[in-house]
Structure 1
Amino acid sequence: MKQFIDVNERIPLNQGLPLSFQHLFAMFGSTVLVPILVGLDPSIALFAGGLGTLIYILVTKGKIPAYLGSSFAFITPLATVIKTQGIGAALYGALLSGILYVIIALLIAKFGVTWLERLLPPIVVGPIIIVIGLSLAGTAIGMASKSYLVAFVALVIAVLANTYFKGFLAVIPILLGIVGGYLFALTQGIVNLAPIGNARWLQLPHFAAPHISSIAAWTIAPVALVTIAEHIGHLLVTENIVGRNFMKDPGLHRSILGDGIATIVAGAIGGPPTTTYGENIGVMAITRVYSVWVIGGAACIAIAFSFIGKLNALISSIPVPVMGGISILLFGIIAASGLRMLVESKVDFGSKRNLSIASIIMVLGVGNAVFHIHGLEIGNMAIATLVGIVLNLILPDDQKSPSGEKEKLGDKKIA
């Protein structure tokens, strides 16, 4: 007897609606956190994520259940560009990152995926993901410093939910941490409720348009190379859960193309770049409901919520230390996931080649610098990514010594 809802199955509205709300709750905390951290409107992130998900479902022919939300990988470059060049420039970088997705999708359709695996192996992607998390550490602590007590409470709630809760509650620790931290912040008198009362019930999201910026192009767009690797990982996990070969049908190229077009649209209207969400994959694993109709329902609800002015005001009223406490966990998880990739891929750091690549990527990535090359200003994340790719391509493999044995740093004494 079948005990799951398949990808293309439609279920009655009274059953599907609660399931769609579950997906909404799963992605909500992370999706609204990104725009708050970088200085964008949370309502436009909800709108862009919902619309992007519908675009993704359409491009993948309704064959892959995936929800697209705001990408954490872009937080540092987005925040940097918004601070120095403005929101329009950051949106231009986001739009270009989507175009890079589209180009890679077309190349995969033409030449397969082997070249991409060669370009972005774990020794390149892992350290970059670590850098993404560590580069945000100062931001998290800075926000938490506004009230360490409130930040601590929010962090503890999120950690306990992530560690001890089971079922659906285990998928939404970020949302639970935000809600719990917010309620505690109310008892401390640091929540300003006035904007909620003054806000209208219905209002348009704050749409914005991109404008050309070379700094944004080189600071933001290259991060797409890392999120594409993340996208592939999510797709493989979804395959295992659903029991279908999505890499073959509808194909990896369609999946990446859908994400790319969604990101282009997000950048064009004022939202952050999108990515597939592991939280929603977790919901599918728990509920065994894989229907794209349920995912699409969550997307439609998110779009509807983006027009509720009081909801946007409520999100904007979340105190900074609450977000700081949650960010400590989130950004640490990002860095740890890069380390996990290196461990699971069994990357050998006894290899001088691997050690050199990882070391250079991490120092260039964490270093807060802008590089000037032939009149172009290139951000540290872009440089770290590009240098890592180049080093991986040109450095010889030292896993085998002339005698056929592995040569490790520990095998030789330093004179």
Structure 2
Amino acid sequence: MQKPSSRHFVKLSLFIALLSGCATQPPAERNPSNWAKNPTQQTAPSQSRTANPDLRPFASVGGYHASIVSGDYAGYPALNQFIEQMVQKHGFSREYLQGLFSVAKRKQWTLDYLAKSDQGLKGKPSKGGWTRYRAQFLDDRHIDAGVSFWRKYQPSLQRASRQYGVPAEYILGIMAVETTFGSFVGNHKIIDALTTLGFDYQRRGEYFRSELENFLVMSRTEGLDPGKPVGSFAGAMGLGQFMPSSFLQWAVDFNGDGRRDLWNPEDAIGSVANYFAQHGWQQGQPIVSATRGSYSGIDSLEPGADHAYPLSTLTQAGIEPAVPCNCDYPLRLLLLRHQSNDEYLLGHPNFYVITRYNQSTHYAMAVHELALAIKSGYQRVAVNRSDAG
């Protein structure tokens, strides 16, 4: 068994955030998580074709067939009950699902890893926590990959920005943090990950059984063999690491080939942009602001994405934007713990939209800072090329 790398620990922190009501969850689970409950814009037209996935042909891609479930999940009453639910609710073939789950593998590594780590990543941010988290992402590897990706997919990014009102750099910021533009989309079969977490991880089994249901519907809708796709050990998929429920609601066919494929860069670009738009992204509005003041009442306020305050409340606590603004909307008080000091920022509504992807303040700040760094690098390359020409 391989020793977990630093990437594993970062991914685990995002996974724990998901479980507590954040990253890549459906609106009822999120806040992300992680996803806004009152979309302000219409879904892209390409999604209408799958508004009711059960109207699609009952495809049985993969040729699975068995009279009973064998293998790692033989003799699981809860799984047999789940199969019956899928038969009655969605019209799946019982024998097909029994064959599929006969090849599903129980991921004991995942269960052992989570058993040791569930408690260790909770609590308030520790001193230097932001410094350590930031160092995982704000480096030349992520920034240079973002610049290269922007240059390669510039037309698609430009079209997504125009269609959804989301700047290209923030689409890229998500992909940079999630998978470094597809360089690491995960190596766990989704069927294994979701079956393991749905039937052997008691703390959030109900949630993952729901995601397993959505994954099977998604696979049938898109004509995928459900035993083939790979992703994170939590079941997140593609360059943007969507959970299946999020795929069904917000993924789009952005390259027009008739399928939604989040492993395809163009579809991933459009889907991340659509996700932001559906969760209330406001074009041209700020993300975060520096603060100033006495901070005399700072202890009376709770930092983080879950707590919103009018500017008047923040002012009474001795906190105000470093640059005056007409902020007639709720603001989030953000705490970043550096090695040498604590920093307080104000999160505007667009910052909150980023946290619908993952509730963590650190996550959203990494996306924000990477977005700015990638944009700066892209502009610098463009200027150099222009000078050379």
TM over 0.5: no
Higher helix proportion (structure 1 or 2): 1
What is the TM-score of this pair, normalised by structure 1? 0.22
Query: Bigger relative contact order, structure 1 or 2, given CA contacts below 8 A and separation 6+?
Result: 1
Q: What TM-score do the two structures reach when normalised by structure 2?
A: 0.23
